[in-house]
Amino acid sequence: MKQILSRDSNKNSDSEVLPMQKVLSRYSPPGVPRPDRRYPLGKNLREWLDHLQRQHRLSVIRPGVDLKFGVAAVANRLDGTAASLFIEPGGHPVSVVSGLLSDRAWMAEAMGVAPSQVLSRYLEASLNPLPWNETSEAACQEVVHTDELDLGALLPIPTHNEHDSGPYITAGLMIIRNPVTGVQNVSIHRLQVTGQNRLGALLLPRHALSFYQRAEAEGDDLEVAIVIGADPLTLLASQAIVPIDHDELEIAGALHSQPLDVVRCITNQVRVPAQAEIVIEGRLLCRIRELEGPFGEFPQYYGERAERHVIEVDAVTHRRNPLYHTIVGGGLEHLLLGGIPREATLLAHLKRSFPSVRDVHLSKGGVCRYHLYVQIDKRSEGEAKNIILGALAGHYDVKHVTVVDCDVDVHDPAEVEWALATRFQADRDLLLVSESQGSKLDPSTRDGVGAKLGFDATVPLSAPPFKFLRIRVPGETELDLAGVIDSSASNWRERIGAEQAKEYLHE
């Protein structure tokens, strides 16, 4: 196996060669440099890990956890509370990270905004992309492998769920170029390791598949790069819902507040983030299909086994001492990475036609894809049903839409359920659309064709004001609890007795 150190080995960088016992020294809080506050925390993966550890949200896992099920088991147990950093998983020298963005508030921190500003900031970046900056030197190409490639030996690729058909790359950004225009597309696809230098890829009917079909129609393979260990903001940018021929790496630059540094791949024309940890270079093979799956997907069911597209790997490049990022199927990181960009796009889509729309939320219970809550400032009857139809047209994944008034918090599922329980009547407020395009990964559909539902849980404008007036205790929200709670009272019985004794003495 050929290894080429393509950068000066004496050069001082954050990827200098270290003994394994010192790999984590960069994560130690006393020695961690503070980030440059001019830019968001999420612009650099290693600085993001520094931040998570300072906030006690990074769990360093002892060496030896199995790559088959063990990594996923630990990551799932910590899901939403801490990211996981696995040292020598399965005896492999490369460390694995998971759970980098498994909470909505963490995404806000990564973007450098308040949680309430996540959607507006993401939308702003999507509408104002920054062209990337090409460089000739890149951390992701410090080590290059081109001969006798064996992905299983080079990378610690886990198997996550019980019936997964083998190890899968789950956090790889697939970057391809439009064979006609040369514009790149960035997306995440499940990638099964089917051979030493071979990957099975699920391509759903989106931009990546469109680019591939154009190349295949000419009898050509399509050059591809799989980026593993991108920074959190580039991960988020990869999920943007934008028109074809919009390069998501330019949206990443806007989220970074500066152009993203990219480098050309060693074996093809694809440009990749220069600061990434690992890059797999290869080709989507023309007119070749092989069996792939099953695999545990975001709906928390298995995607079926079928003939899929195939990638042949030509090279693997990486940093010295790289970090391998994996996303556990159906976990919070998986759900939120897809959910936040969809929310931003759906909010903008609805506001263009319906100025009364105030906020949207894709609930975790609806796997951050299928159940959409919409908050509106209702102005006319029938408006909610129009908004439902607009939302269902906004993305084919959306299956159920619930519209509520401004007094209902769409980020609190209990509030939405309360509105349904007290403001909705099925014979008046239910909208059903049969035989609609939905998600092919929804097992209740017929190959992606199913029904959509809309729920108008808003108050009728003709209702008497007092009928739907929510109960309220005056002063409750302003109350200073710390000022009224006696934390020194260790025994309530003694305290009652003491107060009674005071009253007796004053008689």
- Summarize pLDDT for 255-267 with one digit per residue, the tens: 999 999 999 999 9
On the question of pLDDT at 359 being above 90, the answer is: yes
Tell me what pLDDT residue 498 has: 64
Report the pLDDT value the prediction gives residue 38, as an integer from 0 to 100.
Answer: 62
Nearest 5°: the CA angle 303, 305, 311 is 95
pLDDT tens digits for range 146-202: 999 999 999 999 999 999 999 999 999 999 999 999 999 999 999 999 999 999 999
Structure confidence by residue, pLDDT tens digits, 214-237: 999 999 999 999 999 999 999 999
28-37, 197-206, 237-246: least confident range: 28-37
* Bridge partners, residue 95, by sequence: 323
Question: Of the candidates 104, 199, 202, 92, which has an alpha carbon nearest to the alpha carbon of residue 154?
Answer: 92
Mean pLDDT (whole number) for 412-429: 96
Average predicted confidence (pLDDT) for the chain: 90
| Statement: residue 35 has pLDDT above 50 | no
The per-residue pLDDT for 139 is: 96
Residue 252 has pLDDT above 50, yes or no: yes
210-215 long-range contacts, CB within 8 A, separation 24+: 210/244, 211/176, 211/177, 211/178, 211/179, 211/185, 212/176, 212/284, 212/309, 214/178, 214/179, 214/180, 215/179, 215/284, 215/286
What is the pTM assigned to this prediction? Answer: 0.86
How confident is the model at residue 495, as a pLDDT?
79
pLDDT at 499: 60
User: Is 303 strand, coil or helix?
Assistant: strand
Which tens digit of pLDDT belongs to each residue from 490-499?
Answer: 888 887 876 6
CB-based contacts of 406, cutoff 8 Å, min separation 6: 358, 375, 376, 377
> Cα–Cα distance between 354 and 155 in angstroms, integer?
49
**CA-CA distance, 348 to 342, in Å (whole number)?**
10
Q: What is the pLDDT of residue 2?
A: 40
